[in-house]
Structure formats: structure tokens, C-alpha cells
Amino acid sequence: MVLNALIRSSSDAFVRIDGAGTVVSWNEIAEELLGWTAAEAIGKSLAGTILPPVLADGHAAGLERYHHPGEADVFQRTALTAVTKGGRELPIELTVWPTPVGDRVEFSAFIRDISDRARVEEHEPALEESERRLRATFASAAVGMALLDDVGGVVACNAALCQFLEHTEDELVGSELTAYAHADDQATLNELHSELRAFDREAYTVEVRYARPGGEVVWARQTSSVVDDSVQQLLLCVVQDVTEQKRAEDDRDRLELELRLAQKLEAVGQLAAGIAHEINTPAQFLGDSLSFLRQAYLDVSRLLDAYRSLAGGLGLPAEALAPLQALEAEIDLSYLQLRIPPAFERTFDGVQRISTIVKAMKAFSHPDQAEMRLADLNEALRNSLIVARNEYRYVAEAAEELGDLPLVHCFVGELNQVFLNLIVNAAHAIEDARGTGDGTSLGTITVRTCLEGDDALIEIADTGSGIPEHVRDRVFDPFFTTKEVGRGTGQGLPLARSIVVERHGGSIRFDTEAGRGTTFQIRIPIRGVGVAGRRLAA
């Protein structure tokens, strides 16, 4: 009864054969699987019905062993190829065990279709070879590769990644890959990895920085995606070194900036030189005319005094002098004699200021130099303050604290541009801090110089709003600006750094405090970039 229940509930074909191998029972699953009906199969040899000829002898020998106790297992399970009624070969698993019936032995057999298993086993060598090749590719890839677990820890990495990060495999495996990224990029990577693990995205590609043990910062184009392992979800990260590419891009940006600087300096120089020439000629006429008029007034005044003295000495009657006295009262001669000399002085002062501005513009428009020349940086700063006065006159006062500086080997026209940019930036910062209130007191732009060792030290300080903390690391980036459109292009400070650092071998830095102001500090080697290069190499 138990066997019958097992047969009925089985999903496998069930067959019973007698001791000679003749079929005595054949269930419906056997009919479906092998194509023979029960009526067709019963009474026939099982081997002759479903086994190919090459296996028939082996089947008979196997049954014979069951007639000799101890020579065969109770259960015999064999994987072999059967043949269906239609001639199709069918991989099966044949499980046979003896069933005593009185003094004879019959056999029960389950037949299971293992076509799917056979296909898998058939492809296992190919799958193993594919996996071997994949592992070999992972290990020998020219780009860095890493497998990360669900918390970002490195499960495996290849030699290229170790070389890129300058860490051993033992150091990397078990640690978080993000920990080796630049501090400013770690949050971005963590967020992207979280989105991958949450299936918010399938993959990502991003350019990030990594920090090597010696402090060198390198760039990588990192592509990460989710891969499913048999046990857990993993992230595959491909890390391509693009440091040289980024440096080339930076060099290209720098060359573009230098070209724009040269074009700007040329345009400003031509404009300033033309304006200076146009202003200088009428200013000279005005000065010459004023000199003539002042001298003529002095001469006329002396002559008038002489006439008045003569008239008094002649003893003329009061009636004769009355018309003259009335005219003097009408034109207020005494007032004119009191006020005309100071008016001449003020006019001469104005002409002198025009002359000073013209000289500053001519100095500021210094033509491009093929080589460094000696220049007075104090004078260059004074000229920059004069040229920029219209930018700060309504918001700030300028204070000069200029120390004794020797003449400095430099490209003074380019440094003029640096000083002008910093002064204009200072004026804008003070204007932003003052707001629109008319009653707010003026800020201060202070220009300082001194000699420190082999360097000329220049400081340009303002009492503005300071540089916000979140942008301080980017102020020297090309085209980055916090100013509104039309007020800033993001080129001033990158140009300044290019001129100071690369053209002069100097340095530029800043100290800033929110609400208190900013001080830019520039160092220029007084004997030129060659000396700076030797100093840096030492």
C-alpha cells in the first residue's frame, strides 16, 4: 500500500520488471516520458524498450548481481541515456532496487528526466572557463577594479588599483574604498553608492580625486554598477587614472587664461595710452594758460596797487576819486584780490591731479615686455589705486602703508593687472558689506608693502564681508565667481595666481574672516623668477 501511494504521488516514471528484466508494470508518467503506452511496454524487455543496444548487456549484468547477495547495493542509481519510442535520446537517472516476491526477485525502478541537469553539466566546463577568464581579466586589467560589499568595503581588487592608489592589496581589502578619496569627494561617492544599493540608479560615472600616501592628489574617472554574487549584492568599481588628462585640461585652461590676459592687457594698454595722450595735450594747454593767467593777474594786481598809491599821493579831491571807489565797491575788488589767488591754486591742483592720472594710466598701460625689468612696485600700487579710484571712491577710502622696497625684476604691466583686480574686488566686497544705506560709513582699502628676505611682500586688505567658507577652496578656480552676472567673470583671481606663481615664481594667498574682511598677500622675488626657482628647489 505504501509503495502504491508512493508510485501514485511520484513525479517520476515508475516501472516494475521481473528477474529477467521483463516489464510487468508501467505508470502514466512513464508513458508521457518515454512514449510507450503501458500495453505496449508490459511483457517486453526493459532494456530492449528504452535502452540503446550498447547498454543492454550492462543492464542484464547489473540485474544478475542482485541474485547473489552481497554483490550489489540495495539501491542502484545510474545516469544514462534512454531512447524514447520516437527514437529521441533522453538523459535519465535510473534508480533500481530489488523487491522479493515469494521465492523470486522482482525489481522496482524510478526513471527521472535529467535533461536540464545534463545541459548544465554539459556547459559547466564552459562556465568554469568563462569564470576563469573573467577572474584573469579582473586581475590583469590595465584599469583599477574593485568589488565592494554592501557597506562599501573592498572585497577584492586588482594590481592596477593598488598601483593607482599606492596601497597594497592587504591594505585595501577590508577597508572602505571611499576612505582613500579626497576629503571633498567622499560625500559624493558615499551618496552615489547609497543610491546604487537602494536601486535608485543602475550605475554611475563620476570624476573624483584620490589622495595617495605621500599627499599627492590624483584624478580618476570612476564607473560603478551593481553585480549579483551567489551570496550577496556587490558593487563593481572601475577606476581609470585620468590625472594626466586633467592636468592637460588645466594647462589648456591656463593657456587660455594667459591668452585672455595678454589680449586684455593689450586692449587696456592701447585704450589707456590713447586716453592718456588725448587728455595730456589739452591738460598741458590748460596748465600753460593757467600759468599765464596767474602771472598776468599778479602783474595787474601790482600795477593796480601802483595806480592806487599814485592816486593817493597826488592829493586828488574826493569827487575825482569817487567814481573809482564806486567801481571798486561794485566789483568787490578787495574780495577778488583775496579769493583769486586760492582759486588759481585749486585750479593748478586739479590740473596736477589730471597729470597724475595721465601718468598713472601711461604707467599702467606699460607695453608687453619680452623680459623682466626693474620696476618700482610701490609706484605701481599707487598708479593702480589712482586708476581704480572710480571703483572705490564712493564706498571706501584708500590707505597706503608702503615700506622701503628695492626695484624688483618683474613684468610690471602684468602685476599692475593683479593689483587692479584685487583693489576692484576689495571695493566690491566693501560695497556688499555696506549694503545700500546712504548713512553707512566708508570702508577702507589698505595697501601695504615691505621687504622680507629676498621677497617683496604686498598686502591688499579690505573691510568687506569676507569670503564665505564654502567657496574659499574655489576662489582661484577658472571662471568661478560669486558675483552676479555682469559684475564678475571668475577670471580675475585665476589670472592673478597665474601671473604671480607661474610668471614670477611667487605666491599668493589670503586670510579672511566673515564680516571683518579679507587680506590678500603676494610675494614676488625681488631678483626674478630664476632666484625663486632655485629657492624652491633648495
Locus of grid cell 526513471: 111
Verify that 433 and 455 share a domain, yes or no: yes
| Nearest-5° Cα angle at 211, 209 to 216 | 105
Q: Is residue 316 part of a domain?
A: yes
* Residue 526 near residue 454, CB atoms below 8 Å: yes
Alpha-carbon gap, residue 295 to 291, rounded angstroms: 6
pLDDT bracket for residue 366 (50, 70, 90) = low
Verify that 304 and 379 share a domain, yes or no: no
537, pLDDT greater than 50:
no
Q: Is residue 169 part of a domain?
A: yes
279, pLDDT greater than 60:
yes
Per residue in 234-270, pLDDT (tens digit) is: 888 888 898 888 888 877 777 776 666 666 656 665 6
Locus of grid cell 576819486: 321
- The total of structural domains in the chain comes to 4
Locus of grid cell 573592498: 154
Q: Considering only CA atoms, give the Rg of the chain.
A: 50
Verify that 384 and 527 share a domain, yes or no: yes
% residues pLDDT > 90 (the chain):
17
Verify that 73 and 95 share a domain, yes or no: yes
Domain boundary among 241, 260, 278: 241
How confident is the model over 92-118, as a mean pLDDT? Answer: 77
User: In sequence order, which residues have a C-beta less than 8 Å from that of residue 521 and are 6 or more positions away?
Assistant: 457, 458, 459, 508, 509, 510, 511
Q: Is residue 132 part of a domain?
A: no
In the chain, count of helices (H) and strands (E)?
Answer: 17, 17
Grid cell, residue 45, equals 524487455
Verify that 391 and 325 share a domain, yes or no: no
Verify that 532 and 391 share a domain, yes or no: yes
Verify that 390 and 525 share a domain, yes or no: yes
Whole-number average pLDDT of the chain: 78
Nearest alpha carbon to residue 234 among 175, 151, 176: 151
pLDDT score at 5: 46
384, pLDDT greater than 60:
yes
pLDDT bracket for residue 63 (50, 70, 90) = low
Verify that 359 and 395 share a domain, yes or no: no
Q: Is residue 524 part of a domain?
A: yes
DSSP codes of every residue in 24-68: EEE-HHHHHHHS--HHHHTTSBHHHHHS-HHHHHHHHHHHHHTTS
Per residue in 112-144, pLDDT (tens digit) is: 888 777 665 665 665 566 556 656 667 777 788
Beta-bridge mates of residue 106? 99
% residues pLDDT > 70 (the chain):
74
Give the best-scoring range by mean pLDDT among 48-52, 372-376, 438-442. 372-376
CB atoms within 10 A of CB 142: 10
Per residue in 153-172, pLDDT (tens digit) is: 898 888 889 999 999 999 99
Between 476 and 361, residue with greater pLDDT: 476
Verify that 355 and 374 share a domain, yes or no: no
Domain boundary among 209, 241, 273: 241
Alpha-carbon gap, residue 72 to 66, rounded angstroms: 6
Please tell me whether the overall predicted TM-score, pTM, comes out greater than 0.85 for this model: no
Per residue in 184-205, pLDDT (tens digit) is: 888 889 888 888 888 888 888 8
Structural domain containing residue 35:
2-119
How confident is the model over 465-478, as a mean pLDDT? Answer: 78
Q: Is residue 125 part of a domain?
A: no
299, pLDDT greater than 50:
yes
Give the CATH number, domain containing residue 519: 3.30.565.10
pLDDT bracket for residue 445 (50, 70, 90) = very high
Alpha-carbon gap, residue 478 to 256, rounded angstroms: 10
Give exposure, 208-218, as e/b (b: 16+ Cβ within 10 Å): bbbbeeeeeeb
Domain boundary among 215, 241, 267: 241
Give the CATH number, domain containing residue 78: 3.30.450.20
Q: Is residue 136 part of a domain?
A: no
Locus of grid cell 629657492: 535
Q: Is residue 130 part of a domain?
A: no
Cα–Cα distances in angstroms (integers) from residue 70 to residues 64, 67, 73, 398, in the given order: 12, 9, 8, 114
Burial class of residue 3, CB neighbours in 10 A (0-12, 13-18, 19+): exposed
Per residue in 388-428, pLDDT (tens digit) is: 888 888 899 999 999 999 999 998 888 888 898 899 889 98
Verify that 84 and 15 share a domain, yes or no: yes
Verify that 233 and 259 share a domain, yes or no: no
How confident is the model over 490-511, as a mean pLDDT? Answer: 84
Between 250 and 76, residue with greater pLDDT: 250
Q: Is residue 500 part of a domain?
A: yes
Grid cell, residue 21, equals 528484466
pLDDT bracket for residue 298 (50, 70, 90) = confident
pLDDT score at 60: 62
Verify that 179 and 303 share a domain, yes or no: no
